[in-house]
């Protein structure tokens, strides 16, 4: 009998067509793939991590920025260099690129980073804000100067000018829908409020450059920290669960009867702003992380409509790029530049390769190390309906050649505690001897192996017995 590894659906009844535990794997088309361990690329941050992002200047240079509880730093050859220090930072850092500048908000004074000059400064006259994005030729700030019912936008093609009525700069009070939780941008914008979603579209009229159209009423965003965007889709956590808003108009629940309830139970209703959210720039994955000494990152693949989790210590997560490397850094890596195995104009030195970054103990890194131990556990089911099953062995359908353990819990009734039997001797044939007997069974597979790349199913070597 073949048992294909089913989707991870912890909110559903624990039957054999779901996984109740799906840890340290990525969803795949017909199974699951491993997650690499944390590999640091930096020294520890000088203060508590409160946001990160990467940007590429018009000259092609890549810059990785991190906001902390008291400043803003840039990663340079694995070492953090200060851009701003001794700041008052009320909330998380949010970033938006506008040409060769990055506009940075954190609830305190709005700052800008000049990418070519690798310098930062306050934007005189700009409002404070809790979120920032770009729509067309305007920078948009949420909750300007502490007004949680308002959005403001800069002058046309000028992120430094914010006087309403001058050069198309302006602001809009959202009289219904409650607090503005965040903003998303692009060719049009989305304003996410506590009880409403609004589309913000360009009009081409210099006197009124934007119009505002309701997408939904009595339905909005429950967590500022959960908002993340990929192209024309905005993902966020609502009171009804996780939502994908497509093309600024189509609301699509993605976690209903899948993982919404389990996520909320782990996080707690009063901790929504502890979430970290990011889109993996190399995969069709959105991540919602619950940080901690043993943190959990909930992974959703929107192309496959399948989920999984990653368990590891982490402080936060964000999407970015590899940094550029200049001549000074190359001289450290290769003291004799003439003997360097690559040319100075090799594209590898320009950076820009997309990466998903985690922050662990203040260090930024990737999940590209040795595979973490994976665990996949299914719900309880009857391999032979209304019959006792005699299990003799399990054949894992995986390319792992060792480090595979299969635990089976067998019981006569679905609610019985059951008896646990373990098989871990993966023979050269691929067979794991495993003796068990019962009407109901559930299987847990643990893979502690650095060389495996996929697992698809378990082949059960079994036969049907009597009724008891």
2 DSSP β-pair partners: 459
User: Do residues 53 and 20 both lie within one domain?
Assistant: no
Q: Which residues contact 133 (CB under 8 A, 6 or more apart)?
A: 96, 139, 140, 183, 184, 185, 189
Nearest-angstrom CA–CA distance, 181 and 237: 11
The torsion angle over the Cα atoms of residues 96, 290, 378 and 301, rounded to 10 degrees, is 0
Enter the pTM of the model: 0.92
User: Do residues 297 and 286 both lie within one domain?
Assistant: yes
The two structure tokens encoding residue 185: 């941008």
The two structure tokens encoding residue 280: 């993996």
Strand (E) or helix (H) holding 332: helix 327-333
What pLDDT shows up at residue 334? 43
Any domain includes 171: no
Cβ–Cβ < 8 Å for 94, 392: no
User: Do residues 14 and 61 both lie within one domain?
Assistant: no
Cβ–Cβ < 8 Å for 343, 350: no
Cβ–Cβ < 8 Å for 48, 337: no
User: Do residues 399 and 292 both lie within one domain?
Assistant: no
**CATH code: domain of residue 444:** 2.60.120
- Phi/psi for 337 (5° steps) reads -60, -30
What pLDDT shows up at residue 12? 97
Any domain includes 206: no
Q: How many CA atoms lie within 13 A of 222 on its CB side?
A: 17
User: Do residues 361 and 401 both lie within one domain?
Assistant: no
Any domain includes 49: yes
What pLDDT shows up at residue 345? 47
Cβ–Cβ < 8 Å for 251, 265: no
Any domain includes 313: yes
Cβ–Cβ < 8 Å for 465, 390: yes
What pLDDT shows up at residue 300? 98
Cβ–Cβ < 8 Å for 127, 144: yes
User: Do residues 31 and 70 both lie within one domain?
Assistant: no
317 DSSP β-pair partners: 358
Three-state secondary-structure class, residue 265 = helix
Cβ–Cβ < 8 Å for 267, 255: no
Strand residue runs (E) in 93-225:
94-98, 101-105, 111-114, 119-122, 131-135, 138-142, 150-153, 170-173, 180-184, 189-193, 196-202, 210-217
Q: What is the mean pLDDT of each run of 10 residues along the chain (468 residues)?
A: 97 96 97 97 97 93 95 93 97 97 98 96 98 98 98 98 97 97 97 98 95 94 98 96 96 97 92 96 97 97 98 97 54 51 44 87 96 98 93 97 96 94 94 96 96 97 80
DSSP type of residue 271: G
User: Do residues 22 and 41 both lie within one domain?
Assistant: no
Q: How many CB atoms lie within 10 A of CB 386?
A: 8
What pLDDT shows up at residue 165? 95
User: Do residues 360 and 411 both lie within one domain?
Assistant: no
Strand residue runs (E) in 255-352:
276-280, 285-290, 292-301, 306-314, 316-321
What pLDDT shows up at residue 338? 60
Cβ–Cβ < 8 Å for 375, 21: yes
Nearest-angstrom CA–CA distance, 7 and 22: 9
Please report, for residues 46, 232, 295, the alpha-carbon distance to residue 289 in angstroms, rounded to integers and kept in the order given: 22, 22, 7
Of residues 163, 133, 26, 121, the one with CA closest to residue 452 = 26
Q: Based on the structure, what is the number of domains in the chain?
A: 2
User: Do residues 397 and 410 both lie within one domain?
Assistant: yes
User: Do residues 290 and 398 both lie within one domain?
Assistant: no
Nearest-angstrom CA–CA distance, 154 and 163: 8
User: Do residues 460 and 315 both lie within one domain?
Assistant: no
Residues in the chain: 468
Nearest-angstrom CA–CA distance, 448 and 322: 29
Q: Which residues contact 375 (CB under 8 A, 6 or more apart)?
A: 21, 22, 23, 24, 444, 445, 446
Range of the domain at 299: 37-123+221-323+351-371
How do 228-230 and 233-238 pair as beta strands? antiparallel
What pLDDT shows up at residue 393? 97
What pLDDT shows up at residue 324? 45
Three-state secondary-structure class, residue 329 = helix
Q: Which residue has the tokens 């198309």?
A: 168
User: Do residues 279 and 413 both lie within one domain?
Assistant: no
């Amino acid at each position: 009998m073949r048992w294909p590894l089913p989707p991870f659906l912890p909110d559903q009844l624990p039957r054999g067509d779901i996984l109740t535990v799906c840890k340290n794997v990525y969803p795949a088309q017909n199974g699951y793939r491993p997650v690499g361990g944390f590999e640091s690329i930096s020294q520890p941050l000088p203060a508590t991590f409160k946001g990160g992002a990467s940007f590429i200047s018009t000259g092609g240079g890549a810059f990785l920025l991190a906001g902390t509880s008291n400043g803003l730093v840039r990663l340079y050859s694995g070492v953090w260099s200060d851009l701003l220090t001794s700041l008052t930072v009320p909330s998380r850092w949010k970033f938006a690129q506008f040409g060769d500048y990055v506009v940075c908000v954190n609830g305190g004074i709005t700052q800008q980073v000049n990418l070519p000059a690798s310098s930062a400064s306050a934007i005189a006259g700009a409002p404070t804000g809790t979120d920032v994005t770009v729509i067309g030729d305007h920078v948009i700030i949420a909750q300007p100067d502490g007004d949680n019912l308002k959005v403001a936008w800069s002058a046309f093609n000028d992120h430094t000018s914010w006087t309403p009525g001058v050069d198309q700069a302006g602001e809009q009070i959202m009289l219904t829908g409650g607090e503005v939780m965040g903003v998303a941008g692009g060719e049009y914008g989305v304003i996410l409020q506590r009880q409403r979603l609004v589309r913000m579209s360009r009009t081409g009229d210099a006197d009124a450059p934007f119009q505002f159209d309701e997408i939904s009423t009595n339905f909005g965003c429950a967590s500022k920290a959960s908002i993340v965007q990929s192209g024309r889709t905005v993902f966020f956590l609502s009171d009804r669960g996780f939502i994908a808003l497509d093309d600024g108009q189509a609301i699509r629940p993605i976690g209903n009867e899948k993982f919404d309830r389990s996520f909320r139970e782990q996080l707690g209703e009063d901790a929504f702003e502890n979430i970290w959210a990011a889109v993996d720039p190399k995969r069709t994955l959105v991540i919602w992380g619950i940080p901690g000494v043993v943190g959990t990152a909930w992974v959703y693949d929107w192309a496959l409509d399948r989920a999984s989790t990653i368990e590891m210590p982490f402080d936060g997560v964000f999407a970015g790029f590899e940094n550029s490397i200049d001549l000074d850094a190359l001289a450290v890596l290769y003291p004799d530049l003439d003997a360097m195995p690559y040319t100075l104009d090799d594209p590898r030195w320009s950076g820009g390769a997309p990466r998903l970054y985690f922050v662990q103990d203040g260090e930024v890194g990737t999940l590209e190390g040795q595979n973490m131990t994976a665990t996949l556990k299914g719900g309880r089911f009857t391999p032979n309906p209304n019959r006792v099953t005699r299990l003799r062995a399990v054949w894992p359908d995986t390319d792992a050649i060792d480090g595979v353990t299969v635990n089976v819990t067998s019981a006569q009734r679905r609610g019985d505690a059951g008896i646990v039997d373990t098989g871990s001797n993966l023979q050269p044939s691929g067979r794991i001897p495993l003796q068990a007997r019962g009407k109901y069974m559930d299987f847990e597979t643990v893979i502690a192996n650095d060389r495996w790349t996929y697992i698809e199913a378990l082949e059960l070597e079994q036969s049907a017995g009597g009724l008891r």
